[in-house]
Amino acid sequence: MIYVWEKIAKNQLKIVASYIEKRFGLKREREFKQEIDKAVSLLLTNPYIGALDPLLSNRSKTYRFILVNKLNKIVYFIDNKTDIIHISAFWDCRREPGGQTKHLK
């Protein structure tokens, strides 16, 4: 399996990484990126490890999520026809979830 970051997920990740760098420094931002890499590697070895996302249960795709740390999660779905993991969103778990789900189909 391979993975693909959707454009909006990439942008969300960049915003959070930029905030971490400005607020906590370059070292913490690098550690954050390592946490992301570790979570994505885990998905590649076991794509169904993520729990079904109850906020997205009424969507046309079956969205799952994996926690990166206490504050962030990766939302993804698996395209079984092409064996691709689509990373659809990168969420800050402290924010209102309703506003974060709008772009997901």
Average pLDDT over residues 15-28: 95
How many independent structural domains does the chain possess?
A: 1
In a domain, 105, yes or no: no
Predicted pLDDT of residue 29: 96
| pLDDT value for 56 | 84
How far apart (Å, rounded) are the C-alpha atoms in residues 63 and 58? 10
Strand partners, 77: 86
Please give the radius of gyration of the chain, using alpha carbons only, rounded to the nearest integer.
Answer: 13
pLDDT of residue 46: 94
The span from the CA of 23 to the CA of 8, in Å, is 23
Report yes or no on 51 lying in a domain.
Answer: yes
Q: Among residues 101, 90, 103, 99, which one has the least CA distance to residue 20? A: 90
Query: According to the model, what pLDDT value does residue 60 have?
Result: 83
Domain span at residue 49 reads: 2-100
Question: Looking at the predicted structure, is the pLDDT value of residue 96 above 60?
Answer: no
We report the CATH number of the domain holding residue 55 as: 3.30.2310.20
pLDDT tens-digit profile of 32-78? 999 999 999 999 999 999 999 888 888 888 999 999 999 999 999 99
Q: Which pLDDT does position 49 carry in this prediction?
A: 94
Confirm whether 73 is domain-assigned: yes
